[in-house]
Amino acid sequence: MKIGIIGAGFVGRAVAKLAIKAGHQVMLSNSRGPQTLFSLKPMIGCEIGTAADAASFGDIVLIAVPLTSIGQLPVAEIGGKPVIDAVNYYPERDGHIAELDDQTTTTSEYLAGFLPHSKITKAFNAIQMTDLESDGLPAGDPQRRALPVAGDNAETKKAVIALYDAFGFDAVDVGALTEGWRFQRGMPTYCVRMTENELKAALERAVRPKPAGI
């Protein structure tokens, strides 16, 4: 599978390394241009390009940029494609966004507003990237860590779950994209190591935060 990654920070690079190790082709991109990524091509073994290049290249596209940058995404090139949303909301970095603060939407639904023709699945947002690279275990290991996934498109979910498995993690399907709040930043499941049964129980117990200021 070809994976186009928009964002070459910790998330983009970690996923790129693991995907290439699993036999996938990867193109990394960032907002500053491919000339700033030239060392990653020999270091990781990926292709490099612009965000539009990465979107066109990928059979699936991973979005791993700050929330404030999603208005700059190449909408036309991403349109109609499966998208993995690894974006998190940090008000201290991104500024306050009213509809996220008042809990009328989730980060993935907010992203979907910028990419109305894409098939978005929320994944890879609830684990530290150092752990993503080091915590993988073989299938069947009783201590294997589980990671959550949410989305409305069954085929995109299937592709994400296959990546989780290849990287050494079980997957817990949380349901529709609207359920992504259950593992957003600040929730009890966010970046906490859990097995599949532990994660399922924690997600089920999750209570949606009250709007900011209440």
pLDDT in tens, 118-160: 999 999 999 999 999 999 999 999 999 999 999 999 999 999 9
- The SS3 of residue 92 is helix
How are beta strands 119-122 and 146-151 bridged, if at all? antiparallel
> At 51, phi and psi to the nearest 5?
-60, -40
Confidence of residue 211 (pLDDT cuts 50, 70, 90): confident
Q: Which residues contact 124 (CB under 8 A, 6 or more apart)?
A: 11, 15, 62, 64, 84, 86, 132, 147
Cα(50)–Cα(25) distance, integer angstroms = 16
Full-prediction pTM beyond 0.85?
yes
The predicted pLDDT at position 209 comes to 85
Predicted confidence (pLDDT) per residue in 186-201, tens digit = 999 999 999 999 999 9
